[in-house]
Every structure is written in C-alpha cells, then in structure tokens.
Amino acid sequence: MNLRKLTYHQIYYVVIASVALLAICVFFLSIQKTIDVMSEYYHHTERIENIKDAPQKIDALNRKIKQMEHLLVDANNIDTEQLLLEKTTQFCQNNRLTLIEFPQTYVSEHSDYEILTNKIVLEGSFRDNLLFIYDSEQKNKIGMVASIQFIKKKDMRTKRESLFTHIYFQNIKLKKNKI
C-alpha cells in the first residue's frame, strides 16, 4: 500500500484505525493487568480490614454464647419447673406479690433440642413485678423472659384495680443422642 497515492481523507481513516488498534493492544497488554491487580489489591485490603476487628467479633460472640448458656438446661440434673416455682414463691414471699397461676411446662420438640416454656401469672404493683422480672432474668437466671403482658383489671364488687402480669420463661434442653 502506497501512502502517497492515498487522499488526505483516506490517510485520516488509516491513522484513526491504527490509533484505535494501538489503543486496544495497549489496553490488553498492560492496562488490563493493572486493573486486575488493583481490584485484587482492594479485595485484599477489604479482607484485611475485616480481619483487623476479628478479635472484637470473637469476644462479642463469646459473650453472646455465655449469655445463651444460662438458657441451656442439663437434661439430668435440673427440673426447671421446680426451680422456677421455688424462686418465684421465695420472691413473692419476700415482696408484695401474689402468685396467681403456674400451669405445667409447655414443651416444644425440635430435631435435637426442646424448648421448655413456663407461664407465670403474678398480681402486684408494677414496680414489684419489674423487680421480679429483673431478678429472674439477671440474678437467678431462671430462664429467658420470652414475653411479658401487663393486664389491669377492675373488680366491680370492690371497685379495686389490680395489675396482673403474665410472664413467659423459656429454656432450651438438649436431647440425648440415641445411638
């Protein structure tokens, strides 16, 4: 191909095509590798940032495990219903609370564990009920308080209002593996 026989218009298109071809070659031979290395660098720095706070995450998970351990019940040693009844009656005797209802434990079975749910109905002041809930959950660690419902009722004969508190405690009991 003789460049002298080409018009300026044709030379212009040849130069544009060769520049485009050169740009594509440069991109694939050097710039693409740089972009790949930079994306890998950012990926690794992100992973390093995640690893830096790993000890704090591990500590938080360990604390969460310790908080959950008090919900696990030893299948052999502890009767949760009896323990809950003892702690509740003891607290009610020492404070101005009345134990109204204590039905049997509801057991929800799952593949390798059971969830034991106990319901307690107390009558007394709001403050005393809150003290019982705090004492049960934080000090005695009877179980996890799953639900609380406060119901205010008025006795029409005596014109007296009473506060009833329905408290649901839950514990987790691991099933024994049957081999």
Packed helices 32-52 and 54-69: angle between N→C axes, nearest 10 degrees: 40
- What's the pLDDT at 20? 94
More confident residue, 134 or 138: 134
80 and 12 in a common domain: no
Q: State pTM to two decimals.
A: 0.57
Q: Quickly count: other Cβ atoms within 10 Å of residue 112's Cβ.
A: 9
What is the count of structural domains for the chain? 2
- What's the pLDDT at 179? 42
Indicate which CATH number applies to the domain containing 121. 3.30.70.60
pLDDT in tens, 48-57: 888 888 888 8
Question: Where does residue 70 fall: left (phi above 0), alpha (psi -120 to 50 degrees), or beta otherwise?
Answer: alpha
Distances (CA, A) of 103 to 84, 99, 108, 120: 12, 11, 15, 7
Domain span at residue 17 reads 3-52
- What's the pLDDT at 122? 93
82 and 47 in a common domain: no
Length of the chain: 179
State yes or no: pLDDT of 12 exceeds 60.
yes
